[in-house]
């Protein structure tokens, strides 16, 4: 009996992933608000009724795609920040380089997810906009938490650290979008520009309390 249940569960997961993959492929050329349920099930090769065993509606599927796109980045980003603590004597160059490398690698391996997030962040499906906003806010809180442990944050208040973290996260999103749209021979220029911009953020951080 348990073997049979295991097979059924595996098949259910396979169908769910097929629906997500089909939707993501269709969203290469259109927005989520224009995506039809029957389009997705036809592309996934399943009956329309099967859709409702996995998602309430297309918006619910979109929220799941947001989680699929961004969840895996949380641990990676926090680990990167912890390993490249600002204030290590190199003006933050290790962190800057590693951050941009992370974005470049993610765009290279997950272009459809990046395109989906870039398009739907300000798209017409409110639940998905909220899900993206929630994920990015969580990123910012995690970044702020890491920043708060670093020597250069002594004297900073929580609101200012969160503002700095939001700038960092917004920069990552904008860089990913720019890399996605850039021609292959222009991507290094985008990456170089992203590194310069992060240097400005790092420089501003060092002198923020002086200005206040």
Which of 210, 91, 209, 88 shows the shortest CA–CA distance to 156? 209
List of E strands, 13-172? none
The predicted pLDDT at position 133 comes to 96
Residue 106 CB-density burial (10 A; 0-12 exposed, 13-18 middle, 19+ buried): buried
| Low-confidence stretches of the chain (pLDDT beneath 50) | 87
Largest interatomic CA distance in the chain: 69
The predicted pLDDT at position 188 comes to 96
The predicted pLDDT at position 109 comes to 93
Listing DSSP states for 74-118 in one string gives HHHHHHHHHHT-TTSSSTTHHHHHHHHHHHHHHHHH-HHHHHHHH
pTM of the predicted model over 0.85? yes
Q: Please, what is the Cα angle at 178 between 81 and 99, to 5 degrees?
A: 10
CA–CA gap between residue 55 and residue 31 (Å, rounded): 18
Residue 176 CB-density burial (10 A; 0-12 exposed, 13-18 middle, 19+ buried): buried
Assigned token pair, 165: 């973290």
The string of pLDDT tens digits covering residues 111-161 is 999 999 999 999 999 999 999 999 999 999 999 999 999 988 888 999 999
Assigned token pair, 36: 């039809």
């Amino acid at each position: 009996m348990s073997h049979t249940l295991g097979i059924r569960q595996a098949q259910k997961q396979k169908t769910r992933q097929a629906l997500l993959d089909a939707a993501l492929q269709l969203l290469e050329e259109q927005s989520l608000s224009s995506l039809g349920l029957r389009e997705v099930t036809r592309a996934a090769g399943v009956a329309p009724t099967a859709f409702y065993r996995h998602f309430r509606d297309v918006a619910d599927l979109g929220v799941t795609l947001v989680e699929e796109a961004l969840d895996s980045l949380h641990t990676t980003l926090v680990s990167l920040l912890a390993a490249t603590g600002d204030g290590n004597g190199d003006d933050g160059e290790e962190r800057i380089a590693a951050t941009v490398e992370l974005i470049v690698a993610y765009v290279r391996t997950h272009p459809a997810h990046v395109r989906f997030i870039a398009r739907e962040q300000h798209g017409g499906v409110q639940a998905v906009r909220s899900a993206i906003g929630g994920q990015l806010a969580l990123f910012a809180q995690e970044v702020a938490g890491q920043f708060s442990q670093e020597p250069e944050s002594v004297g900073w208040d929580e609101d200012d650290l969160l503002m700095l973290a939001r700038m960092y996260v917004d920069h990552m999103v904008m860089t990913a979008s720019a890399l996605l749209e850039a021609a292959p021979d222009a991507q290094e220029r985008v990456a170089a520009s992203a590194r310069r911009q992060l240097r400005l953020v790092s420089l501003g951080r060092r002198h923020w309390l002086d200005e206040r």
